[in-house]
Structure 1
Amino acid sequence: MVWTKLTQKGFWPFLAVVLIFLSSPSIVSSEIGFQSDATLVSRYIWRGFDTITDDRPAIQPSITFAFGKSGVWLNLWSAFALADTDFVELDLIAGYDKVFSKEMTFSVGVGYFTFPSMSHYPDKNSTSPEIYAGASSSWFPLSPALTLYYDFNLGDGLYATLSLNQSFQIKGKVLCSTFVIGYTTQYEVDPGFSDICLGISMDFPLKRITLTPSINYVIVPNETINDENEIWMGLSASWSTD
């Protein structure tokens, strides 16, 4: 049923544009890298929203293709609810990262978000395009990154994030800590700060995959987004050709 809906209008025009872009000579001649991962989350919290009602867990598989040193990549990301609901999300994202020095990176991209489990898919109430642009620097302490997103349909507005990261060595392992603060004018909520996220994670490399458990706490200062703060846990398994 989900695949049948995906073959209808909406998804394919966007995919066609992406494929035309990826067929340019400089990209086609690049060596293609491949990474896949699957993340199990205790609840799906996104930009402060409790995306799946009643705090349901979800599995979030993802596949990313990186086109050599071109800086171009293509990602297919999905989310499937695991309990008492048929929620399905499928997103296609294309991006370009330009490293100007070892300390500064600029990024741009476009995403197309779809919700095939909705009965009215693929109309305008179940699909949405979004563009983004961002900059990050490892030269400054805490490696700050600023990213701006603009949604043209469902969100119909701006979402901005400022993130900080710090890593620590603990008995040969790397503990990563993150801080992200978001500001939104999207989804007809009161404009303002939408979410303040604190997270810690640690990679455990195995022979062929890397396991990454994480714990995250999200403060939601905007009650029109979520009337409570959220804590959620994740376990990611990833594999790469690199």
Structure 2
Amino acid sequence: MKKVILLATVLALCGVTGLASAADGEIGVDASVSYVTKYIWRGFDRLDDAAAVQPSVNLDLGNGFYANVWMSYAGTSGRTDPAVPTSGRVNFTEYNYTFGYANSMCEGESWQTDYAVNWMYYDFIDMPSDVIDMQEINATFAWPNIIGNGITPSYTIIRMWTSEGSATYNDASGWIHVVGLEYDFTIDGFTPDNPEQTIKLFADATYNDGTGLNTENLLGVADQIDHDWSHLKYGAAAPMKLGNGTLTPAIYYQTSMEDTVNDEDEFWGGITYALSF
């Protein structure tokens, strides 16, 4: 019931904000579906090497406000930890609800700052809210002109906490910091619809200040996440027009540095198809 109330509250808030923007004709909808060969979330291997299908719907409410519902479904059955009956991958079907605001400061200047502030709720719909659900507030800042030549540095700060004060994994609350770089360049396109092809290269480093749940081992893991640099992630993506939408293949590699987050380096790929309405 609490999850129903939460979702209804978010939708009501989005509806009020959307009605305020409707007069300006600024509301838009983006829908996408992704397939990833592994679901790696902030360094954690959510499904223990299993693939996932991840649909998403984003509502542009105008004036910088937006709302999003993102879902993840395991591509295979089984358990993330053979010793834990509740670790069946089906139990980690995940719905994330986001309400956010994005804007820019000092546009056109060398110190132009693009920023986004989000509230997110992580809803594992097949498990009780007081067991594993979490929420967060995060803020991302990016500086597209400070270096130039297509290189954009960024910084994200995240504060996570459990959905309920008496949650089983209350010690999983805490901070995460991510510093990143993105480099965009163009090459000749591969198809007539894409005379120029953008290639996005990106890398980031994450400092985990003791938060998150390692779903490969849910027995007491909440107080085992160490305060340390957890991982480095590298990747490349190539968005291209396909029909009325955009197809984006991508590859990723993770160097894991903190065993309580992930004791293996990871390599995975994904493909996303997105439409705007």
TM-score by length of 2: 0.78
1:170 counterpart = 2:187: yes
Q: Which moved more, 1:104-113 or 1:74-83?
A: 104-113
Q: Which of these residues, 41, 46, 50, is aligned with residue 51 of structure 1? A: 46
Give the AA of the match of 1:37: S
CA-CA distance at 1:166 after TM superposition:
0.4
- Residues 160, 11 of structure 1: alpha-carbon distance in 2 compared, 3 angstrom cutoff: farther
Q: Which residue of the partner structure matches residue 54 of structure 2? A: 60
Q: Indicate conservation of the 8 Å contact 1:116/1:126, yes or no.
A: no
Q: Which residue of the partner structure matches residue 96 of structure 1? A: 101
Q: Which residue of the partner structure matches residue 79 of structure 1? A: 72
Task: Tell me which structure has the larger Cα radius of gyration.
Answer: 2
1:133 counterpart = 2:139: yes
Q: Which residue of the partner structure matches residue 116 of structure 1? A: 125
Q: Indicate conservation of the 8 Å contact 1:176/1:202, yes or no.
A: yes
- Residues 71, 44 of structure 1: alpha-carbon distance in 2 compared, 3 angstrom cutoff: same
CA-CA distance at 1:28 after TM superposition:
4.8
- Aligned-partner Cα distance in 2 for 1:14–1:240: 23
Q: Indicate conservation of the 8 Å contact 1:107/1:133, yes or no.
A: yes
Q: Which moved more, 1:221-230 or 1:82-91?
A: 82-91
Name the SS of the counterpart of 1:225 in structure 2: coil
- Residues 22, 148 of structure 1: alpha-carbon distance in 2 compared, 3 angstrom cutoff: farther
Q: Which moved more, 1:206-215 or 1:71-80?
A: 206-215
Name the SS of the counterpart of 1:150 in structure 2: strand
Q: Indicate conservation of the 8 Å contact 1:27/1:67, yes or no.
A: yes
1:180 counterpart = 2:185: no
- Residues 81, 17 of structure 1: alpha-carbon distance in 2 compared, 3 angstrom cutoff: closer
Structure 1 segments of 4 or more deviating over 3 A? 24-30
Q: Which moved more, 1:76-85 or 1:146-155?
A: 146-155
Q: Which residue of the partner structure matches residue 212 of structure 1? A: 248
- Residues 184, 239 of structure 1: alpha-carbon distance in 2 compared, 3 angstrom cutoff: same
Name the SS of the counterpart of 2:5 in structure 1: helix
- Residues 26, 99 of structure 1: alpha-carbon distance in 2 compared, 3 angstrom cutoff: farther
Q: Indicate conservation of the 8 Å contact 1:22/1:28, yes or no.
A: no
TM-score by length of 1: 0.88
Q: Indicate conservation of the 8 Å contact 2:14/2:67, yes or no.
A: no
Q: Any gaps of 5 or more consecutive residues in structure 2?
A: 78-88, 163-168, 189-195, 213-222
- Residues 221, 177 of structure 1: alpha-carbon distance in 2 compared, 3 angstrom cutoff: same
Q: Any gaps of 5 or more consecutive residues in structure 1?
A: 1-7
Name the SS of the counterpart of 2:130 in structure 1: coil
- Aligned-partner Cα distance in 1 for 2:73–2:33: 11
